[in-house]
Chains A and B, each alone.
Chain A
Amino acid sequence: MSATLEPPTSAGPAGLDFDALYRDARDDVYAYVVTLLHSRAAAEDVTAQAFERAFRKARSYNPGKGGPRAWLFGIARNAALDELRRGKRVATLVAEPVDAAAATDEAAERALERAAVRDALAGLPPRDREVIALKFHAGLDNAELAAVLGVSVSNAGTQLHRAMTKLRKAVDDRS
Chain B
Amino acid sequence: MTAPDTLPPELAELGELLREDPPRPDAKWARELDSRAAAGFPRPPRRSPWAVLKPARRFLVPAVSFACVALLVVGLSTADLSSDDSGGSSSAGGAAVSESSQGSESSGDTAAPASRRPLSADSAGGSPGSDGRDRRYQVRNAQLTLAVRPRDVEKTAAGVLRVADVRGGFVASSTVSDEGGTFELRIPTARLNGALADLSKLGKVRSRTQSSEDITAESVSARGRLREAQREREGLLRALANATTLNETESVKARLRTVNDRIATLRAAARRVANRAAYANVSVELVSERSGAAPVGDDGRWTPGDALRDAVRVLEVAAGIALIVLALLLPLALLGGVGALAARGLGHRRRERALDMA
Contact = CB atoms under 8 A, between A and B. Distances in A.
Nearest to A5: B37
Contacts of B17: 110, 113-114, 117
B1 A158 contact: yes
A8 B26 CA distance: 28
A48 B36 contact: yes
Given A52-B41, A135-B15, A137-B23, A143 B4 contact: yes
B213 interface: no
A168 B29 contact: no
Interface string B331-358: 0000000000000000010111111101
B22 interface: yes
A154 B352 contact: no
B318 interface: no
A85 interface: yes
A84 interface: yes
B355 A84 contact: yes
Nearest to B24: A27
Contacts of B358: 84, 126
A5 B25 contact: no
A170 B7 CA distance: 17
Nearest to B42: A52
B18 A55 contact: no
29 contacts: A1-B34, A3-B38, A3-B39, A27-B25, A30-B24, A34-B23, A52-B41, A55-B37, A55-B41, A56-B41, A81-B352, A81-B355, A82-B351, A84-B351, A87-B354, A121-B18, A135-B15, A136-B15, A136-B19, A137-B22, A139-B19, A142-B4, A142-B5, A154-B1, A161-B2, A161-B7, A161-B11, A164-B14, A171-B14
3 nearest A-B residue pairs (beta carbon): A81-B351, A85-B354, A136-B18
Given A164-B7, A168-B11, 19 more contacts: A3-B38, A27-B25, A27-B30, A31-B22, A31-B24, A43-B23, A43-B25, A48-B33, A51-B33, A85-B353, A114-B17, A117-B18, A117-B21, A126-B355, A137-B23, A139-B19, A160-B7, A161-B7, A171-B14
